[in-house]
Each structure stands twice: as structure tokens, then as C-alpha cells.
Amino acid sequence: MKDDHLGPYPSHPVVRAIFRLPILLYRLGLGALVGRLFMIVTTTGRKSGLPRRTAIEFHTYYGRKYVVNGYGMRSDWYRNILADARVTIQTADGVEHCRARRVTDDAELAEAYGFVEANPTFRRFVQVLGVDLSREQFIAHKDRWYLVTFDPTTEPTPPPLAADLWCVLPLAASISVVFALVLGRRGQR
């Protein structure tokens, strides 16, 4: 199977830090804000067996959440899902226990086509691959992209990401106020 992707896999430390920023924001207790665009997917590490968290842009279409994996088999989170599909996802809607799966069925792809057609990011991705955006071509080229969706489960899933840094926000706000007051007094002299 050809592993087309959006571009080079993000390996530079600065780029990786930027990609992990939504995780920090969730930990600060800002998941309700960030969780409208990014979900936190907690997988089980295929080698370590430990919870692994990834922030991923997601889209909801008719109540179903979709993720476009632009890096295919190079994505650690995707390889973790192949080893164990049980995941915990967190969005502004809260925590959900799910089984992740790649959408490959033609009928399901035809349903998801409306999401693809309305999504500028995915439309650009499809253009880069040189695929016509018609429903027929979208289905015919299903092996060229990784569209992942999530089905609810009652099975045990990895623990969700905790908002364990929420206490940092009031402290940071207090420091900012003191800093602003000190700078304000210096300006008055």
C-alpha cells in the first residue's frame, strides 16, 4: 500500500513541541476551549504498554468524529491503534471510551464524503495527492489516505489526560499582575 502523506514527518524538536501544545493546554484545564478543534487521543503504547497521548485535529460530521492521519504508517499513535484499537478521546464534549478504526468500507466512505467535501484541510490534502474530489474518485483512492473514526465501547481503555496543572493558571495570573504593577511603577518615575 502506498503511504502518501501531507509532507515530512514532524521530527524537529520545535515543531514537535508546537504539536504537543494542545496537550499542555488540556493539562492546564483549558480542554473546553482547545477541545473544539483538537482531541487528545490516549492510546496504549505498542512497545511500552503505557498510555501515550497525542493531540490531533478532528472534525465532527453528523455526530461522528473523524481524524485525517496525514502521516499514515509513520504516525506513532496510528501504529499504537493498530496494535490495540481501544482508545480514550477527549474533546470539549468530555471523555469518551472508544475503539478507533480506519474507514475503508465503500458505503461508509460515501457517507463520510460530505465531511471531506466540506473540510478545507482534507480538500487540500486530496489536491496534493492529485485526486479529483468527486465521490467516486474519493472512494476509488481510499488506499491513499487514513481517515480514522471512533466507535463507543464499554471495554477498558487507557486513562484520560488529567487537568493536573490547573493550579498553574492562577499562579501565572498573579505573577503577571505583580509584574505589570512593577513595570507600571517604573514608568511613573
Mean pLDDT in consecutive groups of 10 residues from the start of the chain, 189 residues:
53 72 89 91 97 93 88 90 98 96 92 81 74 81 87 97 80 74 70
Candidates 104, 17, 81, 29; CA nearest to 55 is 17
For residue 9, what pLDDT is reported?
A: 61
State the DSSP code for 6.
Answer: S
Question: What is the rounded CA–CA span in Å between residue 143 and residue 141?
Answer: 5
What phi-psi label fits residue 166: left (phi over 0), alpha (psi between -120 and 50 degrees) or beta?
Answer: alpha
Question: What is the rounded CA–CA span in Å between residue 154 and residue 147?
Answer: 23
Question: What is the rounded CA–CA span in Å between residue 189 and residue 177?
Answer: 19
For residue 52, what pLDDT is reported?
A: 97
Domain residues of the chain, as ranges? 13-161
Highest CATH level, class, for 13-161: mainly beta
Q: Which residues contact 110 (CB under 8 A, 6 or more apart)?
A: 135, 139
For residue 10, what pLDDT is reported?
A: 64
For residue 6, what pLDDT is reported?
A: 52
For residue 47, what pLDDT is reported?
A: 96
